[in-house]
Amino acid sequence: MTLRGEGKHRYTAGPHLKKAESIEGVVYGQHDGINRSRIFPGLHLNVLALLQGEAAAALATVQAGLDGTEREAFAARIGGG
């Protein structure tokens, strides 16, 4: 995936921003271009795809996160299945 226009500008303009964070051995953030929510485990956002308007790629990332074990464990902890 190649950054273009405003998406490239926004991504490269923020080198001071934290791109990843490790909490209890789990890495969250943009270490691979995917934001992984700490608040809602299993919610993954493909920032580059969103910035470039690539809806199919963005949706595929969200779906893959929701299909994973992180979300299942979170839902079980809060009583949602």
Per-residue pLDDT of 27-80, as tens digits, reads 555 667 788 887 888 899 888 888 888 999 999 999 999 998 988 888 898 887
Structural domain boundaries of the chain?
5-78
Averaged over 8-29, what is the pLDDT?
59
Q: Is the pTM of this model over 0.95?
A: no
Bridge partners of 22?
Answer: 27
48-54 contact pairs (CB < 8 A, 24+): 48/1, 48/3, 48/7, 48/11, 49/1, 51/3, 51/6, 51/7, 51/10, 51/11, 52/1, 52/3, 52/4, 52/7, 54/1
Q: Would you give the end-to-end CA distance of the chain in angstroms?
A: 36
What was the pLDDT predicted at 28? 58
- The answer to whether residue 10 scores a pLDDT higher than 80 is no
